[in-house]
Amino acid sequence: MDALAEKCQQRRTDLRLTQTEAAELAGVSERFVRLVESGKLSVRLDKLTALLTVLGLELRLDLRGQ
């Protein structure tokens, strides 16, 4: 499991949300939440951003070497 997948799953469980509840709050499918949490990151960025917002997380790009 990659770091993003692990962080999303941990945060969701910390918030005591089921995958279904997180999906409903983010306006995405439960399948999408499962894909994110399993590390299948060929997902739409807008949907990922919506889920991260519900979980109180944000996606940051780190330009290595700068």
Residue 40 lies in a domain: yes
Residue 63 lies in a domain: no
> What predicted TM-score, i.e. pTM, was given to this entire model?
0.71
- Number of structural domains (the chain) is 1
Query: Alpha-carbon distance 41 to 11, whole Å?
Result: 17
Residue 1 pLDDT > 60, yes or no? no
pLDDT at 12: 94
Domain CATH number, residue 7: 1.10.260.40
Residue 59 pLDDT > 90, yes or no? no
Residue 7 lies in a domain: yes
pLDDT at 53: 94
Domain with 34 in it = 3-54
pLDDT at 34: 95
Residue 61 lies in a domain: no
Query: Alpha-carbon distance 33 to 8, whole Å?
Result: 9
Residue 66 lies in a domain: no
pLDDT digits (tens, 9 = 90+) for 12-56: 999 999 999 999 999 999 999 999 999 886 767 888 889 999 999
Residue 37 lies in a domain: yes
